[in-house]
Structure 1
């Protein structure tokens, strides 16, 4: 493309030479660089028409970076994010005063010359010679526009930006050639429009619309004469003439622009004098960019949306390409965030845990069956100040969360129960469940067997918790030794495999440890992961991957492809219904009674780790699942004994007494006005029990198809011969302490 010809068969270089002469071309470069006149001789000797022709003729004009607006599911604005604050407008939507002012001060002969202004060059050469140095350049608006295109293409790459703005002869020659091309292809009006949209006006404002909003809080079409003159004067040096930081210097520069407008007959001298007498009249709107400005405490939800964009191949082949697309902006992103749910989350957090508390809390809400994340909040706000953080306490490490997540304690036990039921274990299975015991061994794993060579032990929370227990009572009381016996019988592998199927993967991205203490919640997970895993129970065994983005509209209103939730069956309906029945018992008569919802069918599980460094409640209704974590936000955590949280003193923190009420209040508000469906339940009756089991309270539930009038719905299923066979806060276990004070490597 270097020898593209137009206009009488002349190449671009020949057109330049015809217009300027080769020596004049050299002079153009010299003047544009504001170099002493002697520089022209060296360039004239070395610069040739052929060398000029070797520069590619096509100027790559990248889409201008703009604001991206992030919306909630109802269309309300969450935040605006941008690499460069810019709103593109048409020339007709820019005040005539602004168009006149920028031409008058930057390139008064704009409509009379081509890409290069020969008279302007000669004037600059003469002026610089008189001053014995550099005092004046001669770049036209077209040349300035081309330079700004180079800068825009460089993006945030400092090295490329330096190359795009370096004061070198080579860059000026390239700038000149592209300026000629732009003049031929766009015409004056389009060049002026592009120039006013791309130019930097200081205070993070790119383009005249953003500048008008920043300094005067009004659209560019409404700029008055003196306001337009002020903005036009900024272009030469946005920092030097910044009216916020340097009002006197800015006024002097504004008045210079007004006088120049009078000299070129855009306005009368009387108009100029009247405008000079007016104050700057600033009405500054401070920049509000990024997730730190998000409403309703949704800063971390907003940040998660950005992480989704950076990590999902839907938005580009490489992370670099996706980041560049994000920085380019110009998108409207409608998310899954439910404003009612989000407000409820934040109200609950603020009423139970203070920002200044030693511990923090994080809450995530997920819709079963769709994977839509409806709410996400935490007590430590998004920010850089005291008791603020940029770590998303609800997220995995790869998505901006903590390095390890948080040990989940007994909230992992239902996953073990589900895996056992899937393998044929009856839900009334009874174990001796002593207060304290050694871990049984050997235990089968995905990688062979685990043997308790060290005599590791596990204990229940209270000495009064002594079996035998069936699964329902053991779940309600969260009996550690029961679940250790259960996982030891079925093996570790079925548990970790099911955990992966329901998305319960470690926050650090590593594989699960193949040890029986896994059932006590020794590994670190994020609240979002736990909420979505329990949503699988609510959805009767079908797992749906979490989603944050509903739709994206790009520049020009074009709809962009977005990642969708993928749903697949992780367990049978009967297994899920059985877990729902078991976990109803937790909130009705078990450790989670303080979290039970009054007018809705609900289920859930408490969890507390050793030394009470983390406390959880994870629960759900058929149409909403939520997880609440409370603990120390740092790597070491906080021992939650003799501690005040949200103004309430606790001698010991339990999953029920702190996370439970947070969950209850958040869920109550989020579900207000929504249907209250019931669970499909199954009878869990042990025909060999010494006493009749409790009947499930009907509530809003309906009997499942397995209800057969008292007959055993769980026929005998033989277990494979190779399979041998917590209250929270148990005794010492393999690889950790019971339900998990030790963070495994």
Structure 2
């Protein structure tokens, strides 16, 4: 298919002339269709042509929403995410057959007109009014403009304006279409249109539509496949071949006739193509969207919460949401699938997802020195309902779709050790650690007021211990005694410096039970803290 090259842009007078013709024709069309129009053609023309030279600068720069791909550290896909399922491809990667099919059925004079098609509008109006084939009066360029304006709309008012059924919208689209034809080549307009058009079943753009209905690429479409896709643009729901094969077949055949009438194929080839069974040719495929089908769904969900909450990805929640909606991102994470699969296997073997106990287990692996999350697994399948199923991330805090956490127990003793060493405590100093003891000398961190006596008992050994032996046997009375000696301020401060908070996001408190891990925390925070010490 050849495209006109090097056409001189229309002059302002030519633009105004075409706009005047279109506006007058709009009044004629409205009259034929019995739509009331207020005002005269001259007034409409005068009001609309003023903006021809003021084509929005960003009209040719509106980014199309595309897929986001989340990968592990080696580039292996974790998930595909999108607001609109689209993969933008250049025109050379789109079969000429589908290009021709779309032009034939949507805008036969696309290669001749300059954005608006007076002749085509009259033909469509007469055909529709006479009870013939229903035809649209908008050119491909006008349809492209409409889709761009809708894509660029960020408020409900802008969305309503882009889809309003009135003459004002049609005139605005015509005005922009003329301006767009002066800025872009026919190839660029057709490429943009084929990438922005909706083909039904969640498929935006011809590349995804090719994969969705035929499990192929846009560059490899056959004649009948191309005709089927071209037929969808007018009404994707009505002509969905997976739901309404008879209607879709009739529509495909209409496209083939239009291609023959336009000279793209012979009538004989069109008749031959009509004999191909659409149902037999279909090979639909589903493209998963989101974290639910991921091999690492809870980690994937955690990544999304970070992207939506961290100001580094946009100053406002709306800006961050739009970043993901526009898409086209490759989000490379630090997850290592080798470690992830090992962690998942360990959690499932330790306590199976449907274990009668109902107990949960989670593993978070963090790389020392960098804080990179290498694995995040739990003994549950991602979902909203059912046994062994949850949408809650047991490893993450509430702010990241997680839980308030779990008591970490004796792992908190490391913070008491670090706080004591920071204060210059002799690790070889001996403390008495009886099997049970009531500690009566605790004072408040702020102010120094006495705290109620705190009773503790051991679950391992008792006797006299230094820091090394007390740690080796995890002696409760040794650590509470150490905490009493160094004060309650140091251990929580050390935990906070290591990145640990309560699972509900609140700070850890200076209570005597701190060193025994009486606060609910997440495995993510604890893994990060241990990685901090390991570094």
Q: TM-score, normalised by structure 1?
A: 0.66
Give 1:527's match in structure 2, choosing from 513, 523, 526.
523
Give 1:250's match in structure 2, choosing from 248, 251, 254.
248
User: Separation in 1 of the partners of 2:390 and 2:218?
Assistant: 37
User: Separation in 1 of the partners of 2:11 and 2:143?
Assistant: 28
1:207-239: CA deviation from partner (whole Å, max 9, x where unpaired): 101110111111111100000000001111111
Match of 2:85, SS state, is coil
User: Separation in 2 of the partners of 1:337 and 1:513?
Assistant: 32
Alpha-carbon contact 1:204-1:287 (below 8 Å) kept: no
- The Cα of 1:126 is off from its aligned counterpart by 3.0
355-364 vs 475-484, which moves further: 475-484
Aligned partner of 1:271 in structure 2 is 269
Aligned partner of 2:493 in structure 1 is 497
Match of 1:272, SS state, is helix
- The Cα of 1:165 is off from its aligned counterpart by 1.5
The 1:305–1:168 alpha-carbon spacing in structure 2 relative to 1, beyond 3 Å, is: same
Alpha-carbon contact 1:26-1:40 (below 8 Å) kept: no
Give the total of aligned pairs. Answer: 520
- The Cα of 1:474 is off from its aligned counterpart by 2.8
1:358-381: CA deviation from partner (whole Å, max 9, x where unpaired): 122111111112222211111112
Alpha-carbon contact 1:37-1:125 (below 8 Å) kept: no
Aligned partner of 1:507 in structure 2 is 503
Alpha-carbon contact 1:365-1:531 (below 8 Å) kept: yes
1:536 lines up with 2:535 in the alignment: no
Alpha-carbon contact 1:68-1:331 (below 8 Å) kept: yes
Aligned partner of 1:301 in structure 2 is 299
Aligned partner of 1:605 in structure 2 is none
User: Separation in 1 of the partners of 2:134 and 2:304?
Assistant: 46
Aligned partner of 2:168 in structure 1 is 170
Aligned partner of 1:140 in structure 2 is 139
User: Separation in 2 of the partners of 1:108 and 1:496?
Assistant: 74
User: Separation in 1 of the partners of 2:28 and 2:498?
Assistant: 67
1:484-525: CA deviation from partner (whole Å, max 9, x where unpaired): 222122112111221122112222221221222122212221
Aligned partner of 1:346 in structure 2 is 344
Aligned partner of 2:469 in structure 1 is 473
1:42-85: CA deviation from partner (whole Å, max 9, x where unpaired): 46375241344257422523211211222222222222222211
Match of 2:78, SS state, is strand
Q: Please, which runs of 5 or more residues in structure 2 have no aligned partner?
A: 1-7
The 1:107–1:487 alpha-carbon spacing in structure 2 relative to 1, beyond 3 Å, is: same
Alpha-carbon contact 2:9-2:182 (below 8 Å) kept: no
1:180 lines up with 2:178 in the alignment: yes
The 1:43–1:493 alpha-carbon spacing in structure 2 relative to 1, beyond 3 Å, is: farther
Give 1:39's match in structure 2, choosing from 33, 36, 39.
36
Match of 1:291, SS state, is coil
Match of 2:396, SS state, is coil
Match of 1:278, SS state, is coil
Q: How does 1:548-697 map to 2 (within 5 A)?
A: none
Alpha-carbon contact 2:298-2:376 (below 8 Å) kept: yes
Q: Please, which runs of 5 or more residues in structure 1 have no aligned partner?
A: 1-5, 540-745
1:440-490: CA deviation from partner (whole Å, max 9, x where unpaired): 344241x3235334x55333337xx44333333332332322222221221
- The Cα of 1:405 is off from its aligned counterpart by 1.9
Aligned partner of 1:436 in structure 2 is 436
Q: How does 1:97-176 map to 2 (within 5 A)?
A: 97-130=97-130, 136-154=135-153, 160-176=158-174
User: Separation in 1 of the partners of 2:274 and 2:148?
Assistant: 33
1:308-336: CA deviation from partner (whole Å, max 9, x where unpaired): 32233333222321221122111223221
User: Separation in 2 of the partners of 1:159 and 1:119?
Assistant: 33
Aligned partner of 1:482 in structure 2 is 478
Alpha-carbon contact 1:98-1:228 (below 8 Å) kept: yes
The 1:361–1:158 alpha-carbon spacing in structure 2 relative to 1, beyond 3 Å, is: farther
User: Separation in 2 of the partners of 1:171 and 1:180?
Assistant: 14
- The Cα of 1:302 is off from its aligned counterpart by 2.0
Aligned partner of 2:3 in structure 1 is none
Decide which structure has greater helix share.
Answer: 2
- The Cα of 1:174 is off from its aligned counterpart by 2.0
The 1:50–1:108 alpha-carbon spacing in structure 2 relative to 1, beyond 3 Å, is: same
1:397 lines up with 2:398 in the alignment: yes
1:506-548: CA deviation from partner (whole Å, max 9, x where unpaired): 2222122122212221222111111111112212xxxxxxxxx
Alpha-carbon contact 1:255-1:276 (below 8 Å) kept: yes
The 1:432–1:279 alpha-carbon spacing in structure 2 relative to 1, beyond 3 Å, is: same
Aligned partner of 2:455 in structure 1 is 457
Give 2:353's match in structure 1, choosing from 352, 355, 359.
355
The 1:356–1:161 alpha-carbon spacing in structure 2 relative to 1, beyond 3 Å, is: farther
1:712-737: CA deviation from partner (whole Å, max 9, x where unpaired): xxxxxxxxxxxxxxxxxxxxxxxxxx
User: Separation in 2 of the partners of 1:46 and 1:526?
Assistant: 68
Match of 2:243, SS state, is coil
The 1:39–1:119 alpha-carbon spacing in structure 2 relative to 1, beyond 3 Å, is: farther
Aligned partner of 2:46 in structure 1 is 49
Aligned partner of 1:680 in structure 2 is none
Q: TM-score, normalised by structure 2?
A: 0.90
The 1:93–1:308 alpha-carbon spacing in structure 2 relative to 1, beyond 3 Å, is: same
Alpha-carbon contact 2:442-2:487 (below 8 Å) kept: no
Match of 1:347, SS state, is helix
User: Separation in 1 of the partners of 2:212 and 2:64?
Assistant: 19
Aligned partner of 2:4 in structure 1 is none
User: Separation in 1 of the partners of 2:438 and 2:49?
Assistant: 84
User: Separation in 2 of the partners of 1:371 and 1:517?
Assistant: 28
The 1:255–1:537 alpha-carbon spacing in structure 2 relative to 1, beyond 3 Å, is: same
The 1:136–1:232 alpha-carbon spacing in structure 2 relative to 1, beyond 3 Å, is: closer
Alpha-carbon contact 1:100-1:261 (below 8 Å) kept: yes
Aligned partner of 1:370 in structure 2 is 370
Alpha-carbon contact 2:106-2:136 (below 8 Å) kept: no
Match of 2:361, SS state, is strand
